[in-house]
């Protein structure tokens, strides 16, 4: 099976099978293609090439609804239970027709009986007549897993449904982890389960077979009895890093004090806690961590886009009263978001309009508030040439540009404002290899000009190759600082171990649950 | 009309691009009505049309910015009514003469500021905010008027609207055209104008790039109120009275003119330069159908159909560009 987005392959020739009553473990670092694989299996996106079979017959669902009707269901990372209705209503959601009596009336008693039987069978102590919101986030996660595994058999009479579990335990409370293990062991008698998880101990314990995905390829099939965490770590990463690609020879030792950028005690409830660090002029500080590590949220906080609850941000010693972006940009800060099409640029606008688009440091408006259209066009032309942006001209609409060229426009937005510090969140996501290298070269060039760079990325090689220092984040805190000088780069394996190692307890667990319930 | 094209080149292109169809509609209406009614193509009637269209154009000028920004202002007509009532009261109490115009401008700006504050800080959809203030302003105006039409006596104030510095062209139309020119300049050549497009085109992008979105949202509503204030004061000057039905037809007519002109309700596309064409279409329809003796009820139906038709056609055009 293969899939690519915008010319960038995310899955290549993936090939695997799930037997009845089998639990498959699926591991891989961020961006390895696990979610895309699940999206294809559950009919959310079509595969570019390849076929699937279910119970011996061809299987090519056009939608999630079709996949689940055939007995392939999925528990998403975000919860799909509706909090303000009863548990049994959630369990049998969209199956009400099976309980219709005398036309439109619904046999509530029958529904409750079925739902309760399912919960008992799963070994969960749940009263299905209570509102769903009366159970904790963690318990609701268990309810959802049981629903996916048991309801298709119970209601549709489909035996051995296939259930895809995407990080089911990341939100579980400690006390429920044991319940989860028992639940999976019970459910394996009824269904086939594919389990994606960053908790390798759990995968090792529960799975019958473990598949390792790396860069969209299936690189290993393991027997859990013969594997351990170290072996998995090595398989998940272990790519050759070409120092040239990252221009490592150009990496320079950062300037001594004063610091270009400094954050002190930056915290935001439920996202990151007590972040303090300094970035020297010309230094590239990398931030690595799992998806829920809080690194992107920290980036938004440090840039003042989602202002932190407490803490200060200063550039070259100057700290605005409140760290909000429009007070930080005049001091020389620039921010490139990860979600390029949502937050980075307006694809219906021209390159020139997107390049000039920034508040705070309004280089294209006079003090009277007049817009300098000619300057805007001229500067855009200069950057199209300087960054070799493949556009016909400044008036070319960004929707027609490739991901890499769009990203260069977003970068040019800050470059033309002479930044001192740039915060880059996954600057090469969805960008082809050629543009990737150009962006790396650009980052090196900026750093040699003394720009301090905070590089937040899920790409381990990029993190290692570009950074002077690497901050490993787990649950909203920096749990390790790894030095990465040009002559002694850490290995991917070392970093992934730090990222996956026993994390400190999740912060503000209660807040997180409330937010989830409210959303 | 499409996102792809409205930013394609300089102002010259902006003025003409995608406006061919609305301009054709204007010409078609002129041709049609001049055959359908002998009275249509007379100087007297054209002067009349320019007077009627002026109030509508003034009321649309600020509201276009709000729609361009992706929000909506339903309270324009109610602001015109309220400002009209306050202006008449002020003239009668203080004998202000032309100064009453500034009472109107100030009152309107204050009303718009209220709309903007509630919208931006209360985080309530603008549709709901202005639907609420529509009722509040209307009620308050009727309270002032006590349900009756209020007259005033100030020749110099009337002259501001119905006098003719340019023969056959009432002053109110002159003011409206000048104000329109100023707004086109504001839209194309200033930071305020650019920010309206940016907020409408992608608010998340604007926020991430450090644009003070909330402040500019308030500015847009203030501008809408200010232009409604100007429209209210001049409408009173033109009519010589402020009655309970003042501005009643503006709720539909402003939205219709803006949308028919080609500013998208989803924001980021269009501009005040187009609204002039939309205003002409609506004003010609009103006037022409009246002359043909079509009754009020049928007129309402025709106008509603035109609005829906304009959006339908507009969508079609943008789709075809996306496909190519």
Please tell me the distance in Å from A326's CA to the nearest CA on chain B.
5
CB under 8 Å to B85, separation ≥6 — which residues? B141, B144, B145, B150, B242, B246
- B9 Cβ under 8 Å from any chain A Cβ: yes
User: What pLDDT does A355 receive?
Assistant: 94
Residue A301 carries which DSSP code? H
CB < 8 Å from A in window 93-112 of B: none
Contact call for B209 and A359, based on CB within 8 A: yes
The single residue listed with the structure tokens 């504050």 is B117
CB < 8 Å from A in window 168-197 of B: 188-194, 197
Residue B84 CA, chain-centre distance (Å), reads 16
Exposed / middle / buried, residue A337 (Cβ in 10 Å: 0-12, 13-18, 19+): buried
Answer whether A61's CB lies under 8 Å from A70's CB.
yes
Whole-angstrom distance, CA of residue A444 vs CA of residue A442: 5
Q: Best interface-test mutation with B: which of A341, A371, A381 has the largest number of B CBs within 10 A?
A: A371
Q: What is the DSSP string of B114-150?
A: HHHHHHHHHT--HHHHHHHHHHHHHHHHHHHHTTSPE
Answer whether B67's CB lies under 8 Å from B265's CB.
yes
Contact call for B210 and A365, based on CB within 8 A: no
Contact call for B205 and A397, based on CB within 8 A: no
Contact call for B210 and A360, based on CB within 8 A: yes
- B266 Cβ under 8 Å from any chain A Cβ: no
CB under 8 Å to A481, separation ≥6 — which residues? A469, A470, A471, A472
- All residues of chain A having their beta carbon less than 8 Å from the beta carbon of residue B207 are 305, 343
Whole-angstrom distance, CA of residue A239 vs CA of residue B118: 55
Q: H-helix or E-strand containing B308? A: helix B296-323
Nearest to B208 among A337, A369, A399 (CB): A337
Contact call for B211 and A357, based on CB within 8 A: yes
Given a cut of 70, the residues of chain B with pLDDT beneath it are 1-18, 314-324
Q: Return the SS3 of B293.
A: coil
Whole-angstrom distance, CA of residue A454 vs CA of residue A473: 14
Please tell me the distance in Å from A335's CA to the nearest CA on chain B.
7
Whole-angstrom distance, CA of residue A197 vs CA of residue A205: 12
- All residues of chain B having their beta carbon less than 8 Å from the beta carbon of residue A325 are 208-210
Exposed / middle / buried, residue B22 (Cβ in 10 Å: 0-12, 13-18, 19+): buried
Closest chain A residue by Cα to residue B267: A348
Residue A343 carries which DSSP code? I
Sheet-wide strand order for A272-280:
A272-280, A259-268, A310-315
Q: What number is the ipTM of this complex?
A: 0.85
Whole-angstrom distance, CA of residue A232 vs CA of residue A204: 10
User: What pLDDT does A2 receive?
Assistant: 66
- All residues of chain B having their beta carbon less than 8 Å from the beta carbon of residue A335 are 208
Strand A477-483 to A469-474 pairing = antiparallel
Whole-angstrom distance, CA of residue B260 vs CA of residue B281: 8
Question: pTM score, two decimals?
Answer: 0.80
Closest chain A residue by Cα to residue B189: A371
Please tell me the distance in Å from B75's CA to the nearest CA on chain A.
28
- All residues of chain B having their beta carbon less than 8 Å from the beta carbon of residue A331 are none
Q: Best interface-test mutation with A: which of B7, B18, B199, B214 has the largest number of A CBs within 10 A?
A: B7
Whole-angstrom distance, CA of residue A59 vs CA of residue A1: 13
- All residues of chain B having their beta carbon less than 8 Å from the beta carbon of residue A374 are none
- All residues of chain B having their beta carbon less than 8 Å from the beta carbon of residue A370 are 189-191
Closest chain B residue by Cα to residue A346: B202
Cα angle value A250/A253/A258 (rounded, 5°)? 130
- All residues of chain A having their beta carbon less than 8 Å from the beta carbon of residue B10 are 373
User: What pLDDT does A512 receive?
Assistant: 39
Interface of A with B (CB under 8 A): 304-305, 325-326, 328-329, 335, 337, 339, 342-346, 348-350, 352-353, 356-362, 365, 369-371, 373, 395, 397, 399-400, 413
User: What pLDDT does B177 receive?
Assistant: 95
Contact call for B269 and A359, based on CB within 8 A: no
Q: What is the DSSP string of A97-161?
A: GGGEETTTEE-HHHHHHHHHHHHHHTT----TTSBGGGS-HHHHHHHHHHHHHHHHHHHH--SS-
Contact call for B9 and A395, based on CB within 8 A: yes
CB under 8 Å to A228, separation ≥6 — which residues? A204
Contact call for B208 and A305, based on CB within 8 A: yes
User: What pLDDT does B191 receive?
Assistant: 93
Please tell me the distance in Å from A509's CA to the nearest CA on chain B.
28
- All residues of chain A having their beta carbon less than 8 Å from the beta carbon of residue B214 are none
Q: H-helix or E-strand containing B93? A: helix B76-94
Q: How far apart are the first and last CA of chain B?
A: 15
Residue A85 carries which DSSP code? S
Nearest to A348 among B3, B204, B209 (CB): B3
Answer whether B138's CB lies under 8 Å from B248's CB.
no
Q: How far is CA B271 from CA B186, B190, B198, B260, B268, in A?
A: 10, 13, 12, 12, 9
Please tell me the distance in Å from B70's CA to the nearest CA on chain A.
14
Whole-angstrom distance, CA of residue A2 vs CA of residue A218: 11
The region that residue A472 occupies, defined by phi over 0 for left and psi between -120 and 50 for alpha, beta otherwise, is beta
Answer whether B175's CB lies under 8 Å from B54's CB.
yes
Tens of each residue's pLDDT in chain A, 519 residues:
666 665 566 777 888 788 888 898 988 877 778 888 888 888 888 888 888 888 878 888 888 888 888 888 888 767 778 888 888 888 888 787 777 776 677 788 888 888 898 888 888 888 988 898 888 888 888 888 888 888 877 777 777 788 888 888 776 777 788 888 888 888 888 788 899 887 888 888 889 999 988 888 888 888 888 888 888 888 887 676 777 788 887 887 776 656 889 999 999 998 999 999 999 998 999 999 987 889 999 999 999 999 999 999 999 888 888 889 988 998 999 999 998 888 999 989 999 999 999 876 678 888 888 999 999 999 999 999 999 898 889 999 998 888 889 999 999 999 999 899 999 999 988 787 778 889 999 999 999 898 999 999 988 889 999 999 999 999 899 999 999 988 888 988 889 889 888 655 555 443 333 333 333
Answer whether A269's CB lies under 8 Å from A309's CB.
yes
- All residues of chain A having their beta carbon less than 8 Å from the beta carbon of residue B206 are 357, 359
Query: Which of these, A274, A277, A272, lies nearest to A294 by C-alpha position?
Result: A272
């Amino acid at each position: 099976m293969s899939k690519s987005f915008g010319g960038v392959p995310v899955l290549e020739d993936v090939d695997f099978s799930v037997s009845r009553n089998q639990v498959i473990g699926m591991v891989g670092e961020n961006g390895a293609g696990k979610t895309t694989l699940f999206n294809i299996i559950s009919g959310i996106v079509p595969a570019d090439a390849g076929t699937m079979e279910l119970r011996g017959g061809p299987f090519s669902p056009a939608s999630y609804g079709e996949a689940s009707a055939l007995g392939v269901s999925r528990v998403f990372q975000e919860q799909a239970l509706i909090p303000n209705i009863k548990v049994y209503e959630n369990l049998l959601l969209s199956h009400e027709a099976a309980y219709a009596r005398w036309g439109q009336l619904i046999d509530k008693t029958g529904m409750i009986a079925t739902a309760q039987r399912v919960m008992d069978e799963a070994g969960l102590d749940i009263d299905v007549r209570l509102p769903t919101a009366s159970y904790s986030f963690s318990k609701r996660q268990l309810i959802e897993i049981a629903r996916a595994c048991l309801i298709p058999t119970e209601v549709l009479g489909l035996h051995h449904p296939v259930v895809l579990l995407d990080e089911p335990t990341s939100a579980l409370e400690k006390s429920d982890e044991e319940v989860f293990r028992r639940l999976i062991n019970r459910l394996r008698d009824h269904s086939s389960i594919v389990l994606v998880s960053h908790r390798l101990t759990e995968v090792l314990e529960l799975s019958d077979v473990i598949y390792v995905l790396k860069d969209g390829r299936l690189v290993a099939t393991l027997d859990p009895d013969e594997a351990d965490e170290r072996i998995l770590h090595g398989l998940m990463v272990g790519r050759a890093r070409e120092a040239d690609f990252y221009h490592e020879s150009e990496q320079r030792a950062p300037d001594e004090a004063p610091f270009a950028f400094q954050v002190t005690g930056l915290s935001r409830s439920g996202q990151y806690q007590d972040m303090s660090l300094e970035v020297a002029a010309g230094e590239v500080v990398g931030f690595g961590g799992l998806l829920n590590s809080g690194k992107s949220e920290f980036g938004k906080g440090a840039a003042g886009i989602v202002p932190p609850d407490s803490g200060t941000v200063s550039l070259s010693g100057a700290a605005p009263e409140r760290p909000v972006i429009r007070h930080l940009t005049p001091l020389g800060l620039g921010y490139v978001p990860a979600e390029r099409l949502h937050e980075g640029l307006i694809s219906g606008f021209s390159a020139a309009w997107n390049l000039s688009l920034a508040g705070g440091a309004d280089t294209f408006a006079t003090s009277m508030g007049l817009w300098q259209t000619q300057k805007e066009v001229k500067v855009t032309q200069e950057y199209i040439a300087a960054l070799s942006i493949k556009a016909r001209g400044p008036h070319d609409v960004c929707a027609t540009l490739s991901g890499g060229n769009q990203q260069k426009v977003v970068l040019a937005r800050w470059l033309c404002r002479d930044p001192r510090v740039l915060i880059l969140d996954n600057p090469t996501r969805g960008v082809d290899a050629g543009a990737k290298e150009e962006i790396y070269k650009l980052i090196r060039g900026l750093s040699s000009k003394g720009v301090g760079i905070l590089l937040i990325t899920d790409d381990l090689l990029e993190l290692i190759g570009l950074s002077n220092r690497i901050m490993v984040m787990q649950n909203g805190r920096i749990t390790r600082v790894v030095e990465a000088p040009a002559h002694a780069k850490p290995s991917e394996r070392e970093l992934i171990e730090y990222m996956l190692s026993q994390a400190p307890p999740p912060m503000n667990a209660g807040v997180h649950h409330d937010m989830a319930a409210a959303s | 009309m499409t996102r792809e094209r409205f930013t394609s080149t300089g102002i010259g292109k902006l003025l003409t691009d995608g406006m061919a169809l609305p301009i054709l509609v204007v010409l078609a209406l002129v041709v049609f009505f001049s055959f359908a009614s002998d009275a249509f193509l007379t100087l007297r009637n054209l002067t009349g049309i320019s007077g009627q269209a002026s109030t509508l154009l003034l009321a649309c000028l600020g509201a276009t910015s709000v729609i361009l920004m992706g929000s909506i202002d339903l309270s324009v007509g109610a602001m015109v009514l309220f400002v009209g009532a306050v202006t008449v009261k002020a003239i009668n109490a203080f004998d202000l003469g032309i100064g009453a115009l500034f009472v109107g401008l100030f009152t309107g700006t204050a009303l718009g500021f209220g709309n903007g504050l509630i919208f931006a800080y209360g985080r309530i959809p603008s549709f709901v905010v202005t639907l609420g203030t529509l009722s509040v302003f209307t009620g308050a105006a009727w309270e002032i008027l006590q349900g009756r039409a209020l007259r005033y006596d100030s020749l110099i104030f009337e002259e501001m609207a119905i006098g003719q510095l340019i023969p056959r062209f009432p002053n109110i139309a002159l003011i409206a055209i000048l104000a329109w020119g100023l707004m086109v300049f504001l839209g194309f050549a200033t930071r305020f104008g650019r920010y309206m497009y940016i907020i409408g085109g992608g608010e998340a992008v604007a926020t991430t790039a450090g644009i003070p979105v909330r402040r500019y949202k308030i500015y847009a509503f203030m501008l809408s109120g200010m232009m409604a204030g100007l429209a209210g004061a001049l409408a009173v000057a033109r009519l010589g009275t402020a009655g309970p039905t003042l501005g009643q037809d503006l709720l539909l007519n402003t939205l219709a003119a803006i949308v028919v002109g080609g500013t998208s309700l989803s924001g980021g596309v269009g501009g005040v330069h187009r609204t002039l064409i939309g205003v002409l279409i609506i004003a010609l329809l009103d006037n022409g159908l009246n002359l043909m003796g079509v009754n009020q009820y049928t007129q309402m139906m025709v106008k509603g159909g035109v609005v829906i038709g304009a959006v339908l056609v507009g969508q079609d055009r943008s789709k075809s560009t996306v496909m190519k």
